[in-house]
Structure 1
């Protein structure tokens, strides 16, 4: 048998257990070796009985010093006590409802015992301990791996399967790194790493094994992404847009100047568009940093060169806002822009589709409706995705497939640390707008608990009296039985009752019809609504300059990056702005997160902290980006190894751009496998 045979043929597995293993992603023998522990329990350090502390978990090396006794305090309950001793004192192993344990031990047996200490009336008890006898130290006496499992599999079963697999199959593992490379990078061999990651003898062997496996995982992923990027550049001849693009004329008409960061990013986009390579660029900028202006400049360039542009946004509200902004800023340039969204009538849609196909529309803005069949462009030159984290890889790819080789621009207001961005968007060049336009008001942020709610609503009232408007954001639409959260509908009723007949209160949530959402949002923009109670549907891009206060209910339920996005909806006008976080949790991490929001408005600092406190899984669902789930590497905690792997990947490709040198063939095979299984959709074909 080889590594790629079904796991059911392993000794002690069989069809039934194979089905259980399949549920945790183990299908082949290879998968067993790479199913890593989630934690370890050190049962190798021996504690003396006299040093046992109450509630601590300990490992003892002891002798059974007397016969067991079983007590039956009431019907159906049994307590078995077995006396044990070492050279420092006496203790008891205590088992509940396991009378058969009487037959397990004989006086004089020398055993290792692991369990939690309970000191009762001066008596040291080890409750329901696990034990091992003789030379067997797999359960007690070693560092024991703890695996993530289904309720149908036990940790002991998993240990047995993995031990047996390691013994028989690690010799078949392919070593992809040469001895020279391993020496240079201080890497242990793959078979050593696999053995010791599952069953480390000490902390040092664990660290070396983990380093080797994390480095390899990052290196292969990075090489895969770099190869996709270079393939995109080599195999496709892009559009060479005109150097003359009327951008100076456009900028002179603006009532404000671009920041130096905006100029820098537009220059990077211009260079891409004027070259024959296909542009694949991510523009990353904090809330309010002015990404839309950059997108409009790129679309103007595309139109002047005789090409069409398309811009996809995640919601109708945001798409409509972009459409209005583009028409306002490009009205003097003879450019025709249209809006394609799901709520249009069939007749309107048909008219727009015909005009796009015939080339009568220069810029088409819309939602997911843009990627449906039947949306055909005559000469698409530029495809833009706004708030890209709301779209999967497939959707972004589908948009660019509407043209032959259009340039691609993706924009995000979720600041991501650059190293992490290189993992998530390794196929894209990255531009960062790291400067806010002058005049953006600082938003004062306060975190309070629920006892302050009435004072918060009084403060909201004062702002409304002064002519301002307010957002109140809630995490749910309807009341949940399982979560103690105030729903948007409940808060809406409460606020409406509180300000009855004095102020207008609106409700906005994702379950409403698009036309109703748009109607509510327009009323808020036109100041017909004073207080908008909303779910996170307002997170992305909505611009109401008169709104200067946001209250976020159950703020502990949101990620920091999301709170930062929401906060960015205020502070867009001339008025002093506020964000009040009502935090219901007494949890230490929740309080720390609220403190971060109070201390800084820098999106990059916030995203780093969010990543640190919540981990990459919650920070960014990488699956929707086409990035494979990492088996052992952690984007945040292993950041230093990631940087080393990125440098090494660049060094390897500098010497061997296609990985075809004999020494790199095995690395190439692994990279190809990764691309074919996980990354093939990422390349914007």
Structure 2
């Protein structure tokens, strides 16, 4: 039943099925495993005086008056004036004319929504509204959806799915695991992850799904590492070329870079296949380590490949490699989706013949027509870390090539060893000397005029500026948020006339994003306004300011990654964190950013501040795209699971025992 099409459910017709497909939902299983991205607690009421700006709150209030107005074609507005014993609030509904008929003056209602305080006046826009006796639903799930699907409609689909599987749900965990760790059964978990009866039930459901997700993940990685250790690697002959590179470089490698290169060489010398993660903070020089590995391969008569997630990063890596490798007589090729046909044909010919020693590119390098003569060193960005198929396709281009994965996400070493348990881990924990630390400042709306003056000074100094303004909600309808962001970029244009402003958002095609980033890098665009996290690794030395609006919406690690986009040249760089959220938690987090530039310290503080199990009301956001588990907040579970996975595989390396067949089946689903 769980593997049947969603369109077999009574309330899902073909049109709705097509919408669900956009979310990657084709079967009942997919639907049940599209977990809420967060929860809203609609059971705890607040008085109006207790509400603060920017929070989501449930209030009970009496309607004093109501009005209706047609603002323009396709836009009407209903306004309510409501009050309780502590104060007054204005409620506005756009394009919901029926609210005027259904709300009565003098009636008591529950309003749930985001509270805004403008000039001391409380407001809510389009809140969930119900008569007081109905109750707004306690703990309510909020899903990431696509346009045309509302939260209520999607919830009704999930209810149908749960009813359909009620008596015939297949367990995914062996009985002995459930007993040992006191995990709830799968039906209870599905019911309470989507429709929690209370906080405790939600906690139990989430614990069960997080445990199984992490267990399947660790079993897969540890099995993979065991298989990798049996693979013989391609031997390289000459490592002295790295010393020659060091003599040629206009700077010295740091001790951490040298140590990492030695660890890579040691793996290869041992006769085994290299499978290593190189992890380093922003600007720690990971690309130079990759260059050393590729140089060793080329100098031993083999080819290397470096795969980047975007064209702009591929171009950047290509320029960097050419600068140094061509000095030693090695040729570097560049292959991306926009490489012209004639040029591509020549690259493919030379690659097959072996006259191109190193190929840099995007996913274009794993296409079927790309053939290497003797590929022996593969390097991928962390964004391809769990694109198992992509990584596999690159691997198949050679005969047991060495593999290096580069990660720009600084996380505590103990956590890295668990998260990347199929790889050996090298950590570059030292920055090149002489870099000016980025100065980080916290500000709020009162400081706006001072900030504008500061930005003008930077522009007059011929500097470039990043401004990040995140969308409010990534739910079923981001159109309003996107309009707000577009309006914001127009405001920036008016504030800074004469300076080219460009706008970047998540709905753009990759080619459009790449083109804008190229123009920004070339200096044509002076101010880049973005709703998305600026591409990790993009090097624009002339960008000296990173301003983040609504900084409280980002995690510490994300803020640190954003800060890493500036300070890549000789000029002093600045990171301005804007937030009008006065909560203690927000202030504490932003103070961490002001105090330190150390990514590893920031990741540890992030872990400490969030705390294990701090998921209520927060979107799931781990380093790796997991459905429910979070490597930052589920550390305790992760450690438990790691030990359990090791124990299981020590007794049953191939998961052949009867009691482990469910585990084998589910690990295979993920890792193939």
In the superposition, the TM-score normalised over structure 1's length comes to 0.67
In the alignment, the residues of structure 2 paired with residue 533 and residue 53 of structure 1 have an alpha-carbon distance, to the nearest angstrom, of 40
**2:664 alignment counterpart:** 672
**2:410 alignment counterpart:** 415
**2:351 alignment counterpart:** 356
**1:225 alignment counterpart:** 221
Aligned to 2:344, what secondary structure does the other structure show? helix
- In the alignment, is the contact (CA less than 8 A) between 2:189 and 2:205 conserved in 1? yes
1:174 positional shift:
8.4
Q: Cα 1:378–1:457, aligned 2, differ >3 Å: closer, same or farther?
A: same
**1:490 alignment counterpart:** 490
Q: Cα 1:336–1:219, aligned 2, differ >3 Å: closer, same or farther?
A: same
Alignment partner of 1:471 out of 465, 470, 488 = 465
- In the alignment, is the contact (CA less than 8 A) between 2:546 and 2:576 conserved in 1? yes
- In the alignment, is the contact (CA less than 8 A) between 1:284 and 1:415 conserved in 2? yes
In the alignment, the residues of structure 2 paired with residue 506 and residue 196 of structure 1 have an alpha-carbon distance, to the nearest angstrom, of 48
| Structure 1 position 330 matched with structure 2 position 335 | no
- In the alignment, is the contact (CA less than 8 A) between 2:411 and 2:603 conserved in 1? yes
Q: Cα 1:558–1:392, aligned 2, differ >3 Å: closer, same or farther?
A: farther
Aligned to 1:471, what secondary structure does the other structure show? strand
> What is the 5 A alignment of 1:495-506?
496-497=496-497, 500=498, 505=500
Choose 419-428 or 271-280, whichever is displaced more.
419-428
Q: Cα 1:606–1:389, aligned 2, differ >3 Å: closer, same or farther?
A: farther
> What is the 5 A alignment of 1:108-147?
127-128=132-133
In the alignment, the residues of structure 1 paired with residue 594 and residue 395 of structure 2 have an alpha-carbon distance, to the nearest angstrom, of 40
- In the alignment, is the contact (CA less than 8 A) between 1:359 and 1:378 conserved in 2? yes
1:293 positional shift:
0.8
Q: Cα 1:32–1:297, aligned 2, differ >3 Å: closer, same or farther?
A: closer
Aligned to 2:427, what secondary structure does the other structure show? strand
| Structure 1 position 638 matched with structure 2 position 640 | no
1:432 positional shift:
1.9
Q: Cα 1:214–1:489, aligned 2, differ >3 Å: closer, same or farther?
A: closer
> What is the 5 A alignment of 1:648-667?
648-660=644-656, 662=657, 665-667=658-660
1:442 positional shift:
1.4
Aligned to 1:441, what secondary structure does the other structure show? coil
**2:88 alignment counterpart:** none
- In the alignment, is the contact (CA less than 8 A) between 1:383 and 1:409 conserved in 2? yes
1:188 positional shift:
6.8
Q: Cα 1:4–1:567, aligned 2, differ >3 Å: closer, same or farther?
A: closer
In the alignment, the residues of structure 1 paired with residue 10 and residue 659 of structure 2 have an alpha-carbon distance, to the nearest angstrom, of 35
Cα distance per residue 1:237-275 (max 9 Å; x no partner): 332222535112222333333323222322222223334
> What is the 5 A alignment of 1:566-645?
566-583=562-579, 591-607=587-603, 618-620=620-622, 622-623=624-625, 629-630=627-628, 633-645=629-641
In the alignment, the residues of structure 2 paired with residue 203 and residue 443 of structure 1 have an alpha-carbon distance, to the nearest angstrom, of 42
1:482 positional shift:
3.4
Cα distance per residue 1:311-333 (max 9 Å; x no partner): 12233332222222212222331
**1:75 alignment counterpart:** none
1:362 positional shift:
0.7
1:374 positional shift:
2.4
> What is the 5 A alignment of 1:197-216?
215-216=211-212
Choose 187-196 or 355-364, whichever is displaced more.
187-196
- In the alignment, is the contact (CA less than 8 A) between 1:314 and 1:391 conserved in 2? no
Aligned to 2:522, what secondary structure does the other structure show? helix
Aligned to 2:440, what secondary structure does the other structure show? strand
Structure 2 portions without partners, runs of 5+:
49-101, 103-109, 112-130, 144-150, 472-477
Q: Cα 1:256–1:519, aligned 2, differ >3 Å: closer, same or farther?
A: closer
Choose 398-407 or 16-25, whichever is displaced more.
16-25
| Structure 1 position 291 matched with structure 2 position 286 | yes
In the alignment, the residues of structure 2 paired with residue 534 and residue 15 of structure 1 have an alpha-carbon distance, to the nearest angstrom, of 43
In the alignment, the residues of structure 2 paired with residue 492 and residue 218 of structure 1 have an alpha-carbon distance, to the nearest angstrom, of 44
**2:561 alignment counterpart:** 565
1:642 positional shift:
1.6
Q: Cα 1:347–1:391, aligned 2, differ >3 Å: closer, same or farther?
A: farther
| Structure 1 position 433 matched with structure 2 position 395 | no
Q: Cα 1:259–1:175, aligned 2, differ >3 Å: closer, same or farther?
A: closer
Alignment partner of 2:457 out of 462, 473, 482 = 462
**1:520 alignment counterpart:** 519
- In the alignment, is the contact (CA less than 8 A) between 2:162 and 2:191 conserved in 1? no
**2:10 alignment counterpart:** 16
Tell me the C-alpha RMSD between the 2 structures: 5.2
Aligned to 1:580, what secondary structure does the other structure show? strand
Cα distance per residue 1:386-417 (max 9 Å; x no partner): 35269844333333332232222121212244
Aligned to 1:435, what secondary structure does the other structure show? coil
- In the alignment, is the contact (CA less than 8 A) between 2:32 and 2:190 conserved in 1? no
**2:545 alignment counterpart:** 549
In the alignment, the residues of structure 2 paired with residue 182 and residue 202 of structure 1 have an alpha-carbon distance, to the nearest angstrom, of 22
In the alignment, the residues of structure 2 paired with residue 192 and residue 316 of structure 1 have an alpha-carbon distance, to the nearest angstrom, of 45
Alignment partner of 2:379 out of 367, 384, 387 = 384
